[in-house]
Amino acid sequence: MSGRIGMPSPWLLLGPMLVVVLAAVGYPVVTTIWLAFTDTRLMAGPGSAHWIGLENFAYVFTDADFLAAAGRTVYFTLVSVSAEALLGIAVALLLNQEFHGRTFCRALLVLPWALPTIVNALMWRLVYQPDFGVLNAVLSQTGLIGSYRSWLGVESSAMNAVILADVWKNYPLVALIVLAALQSAPAELYGAATLDGANAWHRFRVVTWPIIAPPLLVALVLRSIEALKVFDIFYVMTHGGPASATKTMSFFVYEESFRFMRVGSGASYALIVVLICMVFVGVYVRLLKRQEAS
Amino acid sequence: MAALGAMSSASAETLNALFMAQAAYSDSDVKAMTAAFEKDNPGVTVNLEFVPYEALYDKIVASKAAGGAGYDVVLYDVIWPAAFAQNNVLVDVTDRLKGLDRSQIFDGAWATVDYDGKTYGMPWILDTKYLFYNTEMLKKAGIAAPPKTWEELAKDAKIIKDKGIVQYPIVWSWSQAEAVICDYVTIAAAYGGKFFDDGKPAFDKGGSLDALKYMVQTLKDGVSNPNSKEYLEEDVRKVFSAGDAAFALNWTYMYGKANDPAESKVVGKVGVEPAPGVEGKTAASAVNGSMALGITAGSSKVDLAWKYIAYLTSKPVQDKYAQLSLPIWKASYTDPAVTKGQEPLVQSADVAIGLMTPRPMVASYQELSTILQTQIQNALAGKATPEDALAAAAKDAARIR
Amino acid sequence: MVRRPFATVLVYLGVALFLVTTLAPILWLGVMSVSLPADLTDKPLSLIPKHIDLSHYARLFTFNANSLGEAFLMALRNSLLSSVGATVIALAVSVPAGWAFSRYRDGRVATVLYVILATYMTPAVALILPLYFLLSALGLLNNVLGLVIVYCSMLTPFTAWFIKAAFDAVPRELESAAAIDGASVFQTLRRVTLPYARAGVATAALFAILLAWDDFFYALLFTSNQNAKTLTVTIADFAAGRATDFGLVSAAGLLTALPPVLIAFVLQKSLVAGLTTGSVKG
């Protein structure tokens, strides 16, 4: 701890950020919280909204469709974020090796991530297109599948097909962060471990993991929040179908407040998304603290 | 249009208008029409905004919720007037239309703008779903005339499938979207189905139930392309244009596109008929898929906005741009300048437009549609029987808050 | 470190797999962008285009009034201005804030960190209406500045967290040494902490730019014409309606990815430079 000389008040340092955040989202966030406890309807005009306490939240727990959407969204988050973490670490370790064309590969890593979500979603929709899509063409021309099949139109595969598209675009972020951490690790550490005769797994546990864990956890916190809020990719790829198999929580927020005009109840859905995010973040923070302690 | 005289002075005025990107009329057609309007009205500028269909509703709603001073003229879909009227989004223009002989325009077109005895704008884009067929495939299968009933369609499709001409003869847009409702309403109309009876949901009985049973059966029989469950209109067009389907249900625009050599392999083999009927009940069927122009309640230039709408919907302007969207005026359909090159389509349109069935006119339409989409998809996926699916939909619909 | 031959083979196999999975979808996007629409509905589908048709690119590079090229170019400008503008602001406020989050063991400071993160957890679709209302009241609808404000709200929680993590990794002894030399906190931050954590800050910057670049739904509702429409919204326009031109979408999509890739390339250089200075001092 550096309480030595001239440490200014933390609020001086935090001030500018607080001003920016409050100016941009202060009003919307406070509004959303207030709306969640009212029966406000879109466009209904002033004076028509009433404070109804927890009624919106009570309703949510009788709404089997929303609960199913919450389950679906958590599934999407767990699967896609763990896949991103594993792939990200693996590719970062790979690109940290010496090989010809390494610079090119590192530059290439940014490409999927630089493709905007909406373009990525359109691209994968075309890849999965059941009659003319390239995936069916490649798989059947190489003999991996006998006949063309539907990917996004069948409940059993639609969610996983979207997850694949999402992971393909987003794992490079994790890979880049891990790569940066690996590169900042002093090379001597590895040398010492090798001399000790440690095997690869042991070396990873003892040397690599402590270096990459803190930034990795930050990346996972942010990716998980993004995943729990997911909207755009489903909006473009499936619009919630087939038979609602890909309707996520954000989709319900959107439908409830925009399409069905129940802004109050939509806001309560949104706050539930925040609560679930907090649970996830809580787990990560615990992991982070344990990591720091060890 | 009484107040027009009051603003004859050519002061600089600006209108903000919201349109839909690449629908019926192309962006460049709308720009050309607007340029002509500006030329006739010196000092007037119209700012045009084009958004995808999916964003049109959200934009109108957001602008209204924020005080409504954003747009003067908006394009809106046939399924929204009830909600818009209830929330005072659009200006009631009933009085402005007093001088007009309403019988010059199709009744189906008026259904787009009328709600509860009042009129909220002018119909502009008339559209419905037609049955398109591949003339060559029908000939090969020995089918002399296109089907007149839905049963006949299923039978013809079976013949085509059995002869190995094409694997899945019929393609539809049955993805979880408004598109599946349009197909469903078309078939339900043919079966004489009702959606509401005395204000209570009635789509789980009679013709409405028969329609869903029909849809599920064609999937079971393998005559409908199973991918229809994830298809939108554009996918239907591509499958039909690639020569992978003998029949397709789609909007007017497919006629021109399927005859465009750059995008289609079935040029010159495109047949079009009104969607079929049901023996003993109906001769043909159609869904109202029209769109209209209205003035927003927040506009401060109602008179000028009305002048602009009256211009865009006038017969001469619509006749001039009839290649992409057929006019609302009955007289246009016998005008050789309008029908030239699209005679079969105009012939079918003349029948179908007279039959256009509206989707339920309720303020909570969006929610009703979402419920129906989900339950229809459940039935199509085989997760529920048509009876159970529609019963569940009726139950959910009765619960709408 | 000398690698055994077996390990080398493994590395190259991994690289090959990485190249194929990364490139295949993008190459297919490229194929679609130069194909004739009718060729893309062939069965069996030809993976190599039979005809090369550059008309989509030609349309995107025609710049007269009301052309697609003009719309695309303006959208590119709007996307760059809004995402870079918001990133600059977010970084400027996040560097001091990140340092405070990293160095002050104060419960209230930690609370601020989590409150900031909580604003980030709120689904964008819920914030859209109040934000629309706010921008409308300020007259900033359809305005790049309005987008900058909105994007700041998305980026700041992100960059603050990231930069805090980067500063956590900076050894305190370096800062103490500077402090002993009589440098103020801000001088230490600028001369010691920032250069050391340059890689992390560069990553945060890249992340922020891409996050704003990626936005679709805010821009869709808050912009109405070329004055402020961003690239994602413009591409959605190309893909909208009943005559979707996927060749055009593919071409535009590929071009859209280029600027971020270039920015990433430049940042990666500074990233590497930052790392070397870091390791020299470390």
**CB burial of residue B344 (10 Å; 0-12, 13-18, 19+):** middle
Is the predicted pLDDT of residue C252 greater than 60, yes or no? yes
Which residue in the set A45, A241, A262 is minimally distant from B377, CB to CB? A241
| Tokens matching residue C94 | 């996040």
Q: What residues does CATH 1.10.3720.10 cover in chain C?
A: 68-275
Q: What is the DSSP letter of B104?
A: G
Residues 6 or more apart whose Cβ sits within 8 Å of residue B65: A42, A43, C129, C132, C133
Give the position of tokens 């002018």.
Answer: B122
Is the predicted pLDDT of residue A2 greater than 50, yes or no? no
Amino acid identity of residue C187, one-letter, is Q
Looking at chain A, which residue has its C-alpha nearest residue B174? A242
Distance in angstroms (rounded) separating the CA atoms of residues B230 and A161: 13
Nearest residue to B246 (alpha-carbon basis) of B333, B334, B328, B171: B171
Is the predicted pLDDT of residue C280 greater than 50, yes or no? no
Cβ contact C32:C247 at 8 Å: yes
Helical packing angle, A10-21 and C144-168, nearest 10°:
150
To the nearest whole number, what is the mean pLDDT of chain C? 85
Tens of pLDDT, residues B66-98: 776 789 999 999 999 999 998 899 999 999 999
Cβ contact C267:A107 at 8 Å: no
| Tokens matching residue C159 | 């960059």
| Tokens matching residue C115 | 């409150």
A150 contacts in chain B (CB < 8 Å): 226-227, 229-230
Is pTM beyond 0.95 here?
no
Per-residue confidence (pLDDT) for residue A191, from 0 to 100? 58
Distance in angstroms (rounded) separating the CA atoms of residues C188 and A175: 30
Percent above pLDDT 90 for chain C: 30
Which residues sit opposite B17 in a β-bridge?
Answer: B48, B73
Q: Residue A115 and residue C150: Cβ atoms within 8 Å?
A: no
Q: Does any CB of chain C come closer than 8 Å to the CB of residue A108?
A: yes
Residues 6 or more apart whose Cβ sits within 8 Å of residue B39: none
Touching chains, B (3+ CB pairs < 8 A): A, C
The H or E element that residue B64 is part of is: helix B53-65
For residues C219-233, give the mean pLDDT: 91
Q: Residue A150 and residue B87: Cβ atoms within 8 Å?
A: no
| Tokens matching residue A227 | 């995943």
Query: How many Cβ pairs within 8 Å bridge chains A and B?
Result: 83
Which pairs with CB-CB distance under 8 Å and at least 24 residues apart come from C46-54? C47/A134, C47/A137, C47/A138, C53/C247
A132 contacts in chain B (CB < 8 Å): 238, 242
Confidence band for A196, pLDDT divided at 50, 70 and 90: low
| Tokens matching residue A176 | 């880049």
Cα→Cα distances B364→B85, B133, B185, B297, Å: 12, 36, 17, 20
**Count of Cβ atoms closer than 10 Å to residue B396 Cβ:** 18
Best B26, B58, B129 residue to mutate vs chain C (most C CBs within 10 Å): B58
Tens of pLDDT, residues A207-252: 888 888 888 888 888 899 999 999 999 998 998 989 999 999 999 9
Question: Taking an 8 Å Cβ-Cβ cutoff, which residues of chain A contact chain B?
Answer: 42-45, 129-132, 150, 152-155, 238-244, 255, 258-262
C181 backbone dihedrals φ, ψ, rounded to 5°: -70, 0
Q: How far is C63 from chain A (nearest CA, A)?
A: 23
| Tokens matching residue B171 | 């393609």
Distance in angstroms (rounded) separating the CA atoms of residues B261 and B246: 18
Per-residue confidence (pLDDT) for residue B318, from 0 to 100? 94
Give the position of tokens 């787009």.
Answer: B112
| Tokens matching residue A228 | 């729990």
CA Rg, chain A, in Å? 23
Q: How far is A210 from chain C (nearest CA, A)?
A: 12
Distance in angstroms (rounded) separating the CA atoms of residues B41 and B28: 20
A27 contacts in chain C (CB < 8 Å): 130, 134
Q: Map residue C54 onto helix, strand or coil.
A: coil
**CB burial of residue C280 (10 Å; 0-12, 13-18, 19+):** exposed
Q: With left for phi above 0 and alpha for psi between -120 and 50, is residue B173 left, alpha or beta? A: beta
Q: Does any CB of chain C come closer than 8 Å to the CB of residue B70?
A: yes
Residues 156-175 of A with CB under 8 A from C: 168, 173
Q: Tens digit of pLDDT per residue, chain B (401 long)?
A: 344 444 444 457 899 999 988 667 888 899 999 999 999 999 999 999 988 888 899 899 888 887 767 899 999 999 999 999 988 999 999 999 998 999 999 988 999 999 999 999 999 999 999 999 999 999 999 999 999 999 999 999 999 999 999 999 999 999 999 999 999 999 999 999 988 888 888 888 899 999 999 999 999 999 999 999 999 998 999 999 999 999 999 999 899 889 989 889 999 999 999 999 999 999 999 999 999 999 999 899 999 999 999 999 999 999 999 887 889 999 999 898 888 888 899 999 989 998 999 999 888 999 999 999 999 999 999 999 999 999 999 999 988 86
B17 backbone dihedrals φ, ψ, rounded to 5°: -125, 140
Looking at chain C, which residue has its C-alpha nearest residue B56? C221
Touching chains, A (3+ CB pairs < 8 A): B, C
Q: Residue A119 and residue C249: Cβ atoms within 8 Å?
A: yes
Cβ contact B129:B249 at 8 Å: yes
C197 backbone dihedrals φ, ψ, rounded to 5°: -95, 20
Residues 6 or more apart whose Cβ sits within 8 Å of residue A143: none
Q: Residue B22 and residue C129: Cβ atoms within 8 Å?
A: no
**CB burial of residue A27 (10 Å; 0-12, 13-18, 19+):** middle
Per-residue confidence (pLDDT) for residue A170, from 0 to 100? 94
CA C11 to chain centre: 29
Per-residue confidence (pLDDT) for residue C188, from 0 to 100? 84
Q: Does any CB of chain C come closer than 8 Å to the CB of residue A222?
A: yes
Q: Residue B230 and residue A242: Cβ atoms within 8 Å?
A: yes
A138 contacts in chain C (CB < 8 Å): 47
Per-residue confidence (pLDDT) for residue B38, from 0 to 100? 96
Looking at chain A, which residue has its C-alpha nearest residue C255? A115
Tens of pLDDT, residues C35-94: 888 888 887 888 888 888 898 898 888 887 777 888 889 999 999 999 999 999 999 999
Cβ contact A274:C122 at 8 Å: yes
Distance in angstroms (rounded) separating the CA atoms of residues B367 and A256: 9
Per-residue confidence (pLDDT) for residue C274, from 0 to 100? 47
Q: How far is B180 from chain C (nearest CA, A)?
A: 16
Looking at chain A, which residue has its C-alpha nearest residue C158? A222
Looking at chain C, which residue has its C-alpha nearest residue A235? C217
The CATH T-level fold of domain C68-275 is MetI-like fold (1.10.3720)
Best C125, C244, C248, C276 residue to mutate vs chain A (most A CBs within 10 Å): C125
For chain A, how many residues are written? 294
Q: Does any CB of chain C come closer than 8 Å to the CB of residue B65?
A: yes
Per-residue confidence (pLDDT) for residue C189, from 0 to 100? 85
**Count of Cβ atoms closer than 10 Å to residue B69 Cβ:** 14
Which residue in the set C47, C105, C271 is minimally distant from A1, CB to CB? C105
CA Rg, chain C, in Å? 23
Residues 68-87 of A with CB under 8 A from C: none
Q: What is the DSSP letter of B24?
A: S
Query: How many Cβ pairs within 8 Å bridge chains B and C?
Result: 86
Q: Residue A278 and residue C250: Cβ atoms within 8 Å?
A: no
Which residues sit opposite B272 in a β-bridge?
Answer: B132
Per-residue confidence (pLDDT) for residue A294, from 0 to 100? 65
Q: How far apart are the first and last CA of chain C?
A: 21
Distance in angstroms (rounded) separating the CA atoms of residues A159 and A75: 9
Q: How far is A150 from chain C (nearest CA, A)?
A: 16
Best B225, B234, B257 residue to mutate vs chain C (most C CBs within 10 Å): B234
Is the predicted pLDDT of residue A285 greater than 50, yes or no? yes
Looking at chain A, which residue has its C-alpha nearest residue B68? A43
Looking at chain A, which residue has its C-alpha nearest residue B228? A153
Per-residue confidence (pLDDT) for residue C278, from 0 to 100? 40
Distance in angstroms (rounded) separating the CA atoms of residues C173 and C164: 17
Q: Residue A258 and residue B61: Cβ atoms within 8 Å?
A: yes
Per-residue confidence (pLDDT) for residue A106, from 0 to 100? 84
B73 backbone dihedrals φ, ψ, rounded to 5°: -125, 130
3-state helix, strand, coil in chain A (%, to 5): 70, 0, 25
Amino acid identity of residue A19, one-letter, is V
Tens of pLDDT, residues C158-199: 899 889 988 887 888 888 888 788 888 888 888 888 888 887
Per-residue confidence (pLDDT) for residue A23, from 0 to 100? 87
Q: Residue A2 and residue C1: Cβ atoms within 8 Å?
A: no
Q: How far is C39 from chain B (nearest CA, A)?
A: 9
Q: Residue B61 and residue A42: Cβ atoms within 8 Å?
A: yes
Distance in angstroms (rounded) separating the CA atoms of residues B378 and B386: 9
Which residue in the set B65, B175, B381 is minimally distant from A42, CB to CB? B65
Tens of pLDDT, residues A138-189: 999 898 888 889 999 998 999 999 999 999 999 998 998 888 888 776 666 6
Distance in angstroms (rounded) separating the CA atoms of residues A223 and A76: 12
Tens of pLDDT, residues A32-64: 999 999 998 887 766 678 899 899 999 888 888
Q: How far is B244 from chain C (nearest CA, A)?
A: 9
**Count of Cβ atoms closer than 10 Å to residue B268 Cβ:** 10
The dihedral built from the CA positions of residue A54, A58, A59 and A63, taken in this order, carries a sign that is positive
Q: How far is C160 from chain B (nearest CA, A)?
A: 31
Residues 6 or more apart whose Cβ sits within 8 Å of residue C60: C68, C69, C72, C248, C251, C252, C255
Q: What is the DSSP letter of A23?
A: I
Which residue in the set A155, A238, A239 is minimally distant from B381, CB to CB? A155
**Count of Cβ atoms closer than 10 Å to residue A187 Cβ:** 10
Question: Taking an 8 Å Cβ-Cβ cutoff, which residues of chain C contact chain B?
Answer: 36-38, 41-43, 66, 128-129, 132-133, 136-137, 141, 220-221, 224-225, 236-237, 239-244
Q: Residue B61 and residue A43: Cβ atoms within 8 Å?
A: yes
Q: Map residue B45 onto helix, strand or coil.
A: strand
